[in-house]
Structure 1
Amino acid sequence: MIKRSVAIIGGGVSGIMLAAHLDETKFEVSIYEKGKAAGRKFLVAGDGGLNLTHSEDSVEFINKYTAPEFIKKAFQKFDNEALVKWFSSIGIETFVGSSKRVFPLKGIKPVTVLNAMMKKLEEKNVKINYGFSWKGWKEESILFLSKENEVDVKADIVVFAMGGGSWKVTGSDGLWTDYFKAKNIELKPLKGSNCEYCTTWPQK
């Protein structure tokens, strides 16, 4: 069987999870990450408590999404329970907290979770290319900048997993949207889902 080539642009959790679940007997998978390491935002976010998912009923869970109908089909094939089972399969056991959120067992650090995910990619022979910044399209390829050199990459399937614009230092700068707009591809404005705020804490 001739494998189809898949190029995943972005080495965040979305790109990692996709690569971890593609059938390696059917696909030859490569991740292109502009930074020096994958999953940087995952590690930073994990410092505040690594909430992996929620334990509520999947029907109620899906209605928490902004566009539940859009994601429904995919979610029914791989829901929050399936995610917990998958983490267990790669050695990351979890527990349900008082808020019904799901966390790694106490003592398991974010880097341990990330390393387990990256080990899975290694087992599946996923190739990860660091220092590859996506710069748009050519007629039959996608264009990257690597060490100040332009690199053309051809793939049967290209997946864009570049995230939003919420955390520039981790690579989530949202600059990729400019290349879509240049091709007259309509995008909805990026919106933040988490934010910090200052408040006066009452004295006891």
Structure 2
Amino acid sequence: MPSPAVDDYLKAIYHHTEWQTAPITPSQLAANLGLAPSTVTEMVRKLAAQDLVSHRPYGPVTLTGTGRLRAASVIRRHRLIETWLVREFGYAWHEVHDEAEVLEHTISDRLLAGISARLGDPRFDPHGDAIPDAAGEVHREPFVLLADAPVGHLGRILRVSDRDPALLRALEEAGLDVGHSVTVTGRGAVAIDAAEPVALPDGAVSAVWITA
């Protein structure tokens, strides 16, 4: 049965391995959700009983095939709504996350299909996160975290984390947006679209992914 609480757990587990490969631990899951470890442990047991996650004591938590499909469905809703709010209502990219958190649990499948069709069935949301298709599949280019890119690396910005709205605003002011080309010129500095190098806001190198 639909449950916002279950969906939030599945989304958090899904998000954790979107842009890196290490599976999430229960303690990381608790930190991400802002919940007590004991609360998370109990919910993970329930999710495992529903065949939504796999977990052994003291081990990481991973999605089963069923869990991944459900997580991808909710994330599809969330990211289509974010894209809709930016394109149709003029929201800034740092304003859409909280709105989408509410709407993803309330709109019908029919309305979601209409939104997707109106937007031209987009593959990426305003932050560059891949929008799963109706079958739960996503398609991304090879990527590297900006913090791991060597000096001289030239790449196109694929994704900017939406976790910190203040950082999103700072990145926008610096001209760092999805689709722009950047050349790494030093630790915490890049040239955007072959222009003069600019210093990045604090935290940017751990929040921006570029083509590998």
Q: TM-score, normalised by structure 2?
A: 0.32
**Higher relative contact order (Cα pairs below 8 Å, separated by 6+ residues):** 1
Q: TM-score, normalised by structure 1?
A: 0.33
Q: Which has the higher strand share?
A: 1
Q: Which has the higher helix share?
A: 2
